[in-house]
Structure 1
Amino acid sequence: MASIASLLASPPRPSRPTARVPRIDIAPLFGDSAALKKQVAQAIDAASRDTGFFYAVNHGVDLAKLAAETRHFYRALTAADKWRLATGAYNPLHRHKVRGGYSLAVPGHKAVESLCYLNPEFQRDHPRIVAATPLHEVNDWPAACRQPRFRAFAESYYWDVLRVATALLRGYALALHQPEDFFTRHLRRHDTLSSVVLTRYPFLDPYPAPAIKTANDDDGTKLSVDPHRDVSLITVLCQPGRHQNLQVQGTRGQWLDIEPDDSAYLVCCGSYMAHITGEYYPAPVHRVRWLNEERLSLPFYVNLGYDDCIEPWDAADAAAAAASGWRGQVLNHQPLVNRRPIRYGAYLNKGLEDLARVNRQA
């Protein structure tokens, strides 16, 4: 007789249309050609105002190595390691660990586990750490005797993907008819609040029923993660393997499958981008369909510095002005009176709290 897990490994579901997710060659964003950068920016603009997602190709990062190192990390991790790395939500001795650290699986209730690590510049003598500024934490790592190469690889990857994010933000700035450094002037190596999350979705037999969520819509789709918008400026996601699990909500409320591509980064705007552009570049609502398959999800959440603040402006008006041939600067910076400026630290703190409630983890 087939096991319960094997019967549920590929749950029957109605066929869905596929989301338009273009592949954009971002190599010109690392170069000096203004004409080629403009072409990339136009492609980013079109994708951001459509489904909100695109695949970034020719990014220069070895994603296969990232997947291999992450799988090795999980294979070598012991229960003692997990407890020592656990966030304060799991280990009461670690109340200081709110963002960074290990989120444990809970047998019979929660299956997914993850490691979140922050800016490697956040060391004991960093001014923000000394001042105990919220959202800034020193990373902890697995014991070097069991995982001698993991920390060096993880820190190196952080800077590699930050370089990709920096290039992407140059493209977003140009797409929004702003100076090329409009975003990157706020994305500094020494104080960015950006984070890497290494998430493992396991295969389990039996799979704990409380860990499977049911969508609150007519189709009753089984979910691992409820519908949400990302809390970030932009998100740069690596999804190893060929498991179709991510869905984005279309303009009519319908859910569209995002086809996987493990050679490229999947990119979308977070809710801070939506706020400052007056929803001209919205943060797409998306969800993760439940699959009983061993897989990884490796997002990089691109965040500014704690005190950084970008004043919301009428991005739609700026685009209209550019389309009409206007070359002045006034229309490009019309403030949105119904949207107040928000410092990034306050935005991130509230956004993470709200997201925890959406995912029923508060």
Structure 2
Amino acid sequence: MPRITPHSAFKTLPLVDIRGLFSTTPADRAEAAAALGDAASQAGFLYVTGHGIDPQVINGLKQRAAEYFAQPLEQKMQDYIGHSSNHSGYVPEGEEQFVEGSIDHKEAFDVGFDYPSSQGRRPMLGANRWPALPGFKQDVKAYYDAVFNLSLTLFRGFALALGLPENAISQYVKQPPSQLRLIHYPFSPQAPTDRPGIGAHTDYECFTILLPTAPGLEVLNGAGQWIDVPLVDGAFVINIGDMLEVLSNGRYVATSHRVRKVAEERFSFPMFCACDYDTIIEPIAQLVDAATPGRYGPLVCGDHLYAQTLQTFRYLKQRLASGELSLPDGAKGLSSFGRAAHAMEV
């Protein structure tokens, strides 16, 4: 196989002002896209400013998340994700497990692309399970919609950076199984230091738009070192996921990351940006030639998401073990992409 250019031994994340992506001038969009692509190649993780999302929308999300997680566990369990039809709802501590024998110290509420129609339903696509908490649906959906629109801009930026038409990827993002997670990391002085907020992993989708409220995130650089990701006021953190690694034929590589034991209560709001469920994810034809042959076989976007989720959520693993559910054809194991996966190829 051809050698994958590794990430640099970066010590800090690149910062990119993306306001040029919103310009009506093609040269402005191309310039911002080039900076976006350089950062993605160098680190696979970056900060973006100039995103244009209203701070009031962000504050509304933070307020509703704090209110929701402050409720008693019995109340939150009424919204348990295992009761949903589209993998949405409350995720109690220990439900999601990336590493066997290790329980992440976190709880979450998951929101998908709200798809109430009965037509075209898929395992990860359907109507959201919304809690009864006043204002929650309104404010969380407002944030989801704003960040979803930002994701379309970023999809166009990444396409430009790869030398493709602007809509080369975004044309496949109409009703995607893109998920927003509201994650709460409680501060517990008694928790062992080796118990992480979340274990090391790559994200399954194309890329993630992350809004954290406190430090704790660490990313793996090209030298195999864990690098701290401090907060940058007004910035989102963007990271490359499995599917953009495939689409770009390895020009962008999914980056492993984790959340260490937090030193204070922490909220984190990742938006996992995917293509439509039935989109075939494979190296884009224009990025494959004799010098850079295709490195990846095709996978179905939604099936890959579903397969990874089946292998990490307790309620789904139980249904898998009982035979009620089965892995999609060609399902990959966890951590099949990213730097760690490439290291295993050597």
Distance (whole Å) between structure 1 residues aligned to residue 49 and residue 209 of structure 2? 12
Distance (whole Å) between structure 2 residues aligned to residue 233 and residue 284 of structure 1? 12
Structure 2 residue identity aligned to 1:350: A
Distance (whole Å) between structure 1 residues aligned to residue 76 and residue 63 of structure 2? 19
Give CA deviations for 1:282-322 in whole Å, capped at 9, x if unaligned: 011112111242010100000111111243147766xxxxx
Contact 2:90 / 2:110 at 8 angstroms: preserved in 1?
yes
Aligned to 2:112: 118
Which of 44, 52, 75 is the equivalent residue of 1:81?
75
Which of 192, 196, 202 is the equivalent residue of 2:176?
192
Instruction: Verify: 1:20 aligned to 2:19, yes or no.
Output: no
Distance (whole Å) between structure 2 residues aligned to residue 355 and residue 277 of structure 1? 26
Structure 2: stretches of 5+ with no match in the other structure: 1-8, 96-102, 314-332, 336-346
Instruction: Verify: 1:307 aligned to 2:291, yes or no.
Output: no
Give CA deviations for 1:203-261 in whole Å, capped at 9, x if unaligned: 22533x4xx6x4xxxxxxx53222211111110000123x2x11111212122222222
Structure 1 residue identity aligned to 2:147: V
Aligned to 1:230: 203
Contact 1:313 / 1:334 at 8 angstroms: preserved in 2?
no
Contact 1:278 / 1:314 at 8 angstroms: preserved in 2?
no
- 1:26 is displaced (CA, Å) by 1.4
- Superposition RMSD in Å: 2.7
Distance (whole Å) between structure 2 residues aligned to residue 47 and residue 19 of structure 1? 13
Distance (whole Å) between structure 2 residues aligned to residue 35 and residue 355 of structure 1? 43
- 1:126 is displaced (CA, Å) by 3.3
Structure 1 residue identity aligned to 2:63: A
Structure 1 residue identity aligned to 2:155: L
Aligned to 1:217: none
Q: How does 1:51-200 map to 2 (within 5 A)?
A: 51-61=43-53, 62=55, 63-75=58-70, 77-88=71-82, 94=83, 96-97=84-85, 99-105=87-93, 111-120=105-114, 122-123=115-116, 125-129=117-121, 133-143=122-132, 147-188=133-174, 191-200=175-184
- 1:350 is displaced (CA, Å) by 2.1
Aligned to 2:307: 350
Seen in structure 2, the aligned counterparts of structure 1 residues 355 and 277 have a Cα distance that, compared at 3 Å, is farther
Seen in structure 2, the aligned counterparts of structure 1 residues 18 and 223 have a Cα distance that, compared at 3 Å, is farther
- 1:344 is displaced (CA, Å) by 0.9
- 1:192 is displaced (CA, Å) by 1.3
Q: Which runs of 4+ in 1 moved over 6 A?
A: 314-317
Larger Rg: 1
Aligned to 1:341: 298
- 1:345 is displaced (CA, Å) by 1.4
Which of 235, 247, 270 is the equivalent residue of 1:276?
247
Q: TM-score, normalized by length of structure 2?
A: 0.78
- 1:100 is displaced (CA, Å) by 1.2
Seen in structure 2, the aligned counterparts of structure 1 residues 358 and 340 have a Cα distance that, compared at 3 Å, is closer
Which of 223, 240, 254 is the equivalent residue of 2:213?
240
Which of 40, 54, 73 is the equivalent residue of 1:48?
40
Distance (whole Å) between structure 2 residues aligned to residue 106 and residue 54 of structure 1? 29
Contact 2:105 / 2:186 at 8 angstroms: preserved in 1?
yes
